[in-house]
Amino acid sequence: MEKKPKNFGYSVTRDRQIDFDANNHDICKIVTKAEPTLNLCISCGSCAATCTAGQFTDFSLRQVILLLRRGETKDLDKEVSKCMLCGKCQLVCPRNVSTRNLVIQISKALCDNRMSAS
């Protein structure tokens, strides 16, 4: 008779560490060069709080900027495409980050990166 292992209520989860050195930071550098106000962002969340797209989807410009800065660009194009470019985030930003141009520059950099990889 085979003995089943006891279940103590624990499970193995995947590692959640981020290896910043292994991530690609080139896109962030390209976007920052095209839109220098990205450096002014303090991730306060005002943009995410007023976002029209965020009310109907799981879009968050704050999360997009965080992923960009981390160099995690794998699914970033899907996230950026949810933005409706309405400009509410730009109106409430306390640091006057040009968020609309930022989204456009991120999309452009991701598209250029895909084209050069092909």
pLDDT, tens digit, 9 for 90 and up, residues 20-60: 888 889 999 999 999 999 999 999 999 999 999 999 999 99
Rg of the chain, C-alpha, whole Å: 19
Residue 74 has what DSSP assignment?
Answer: S
- Chain mean pLDDT for the chain: 91
Ordered by start, the domain boundaries in the chain are 26-117
The pTM score is 0.83
Q: Is the pLDDT of residue 1 over 80?
A: no
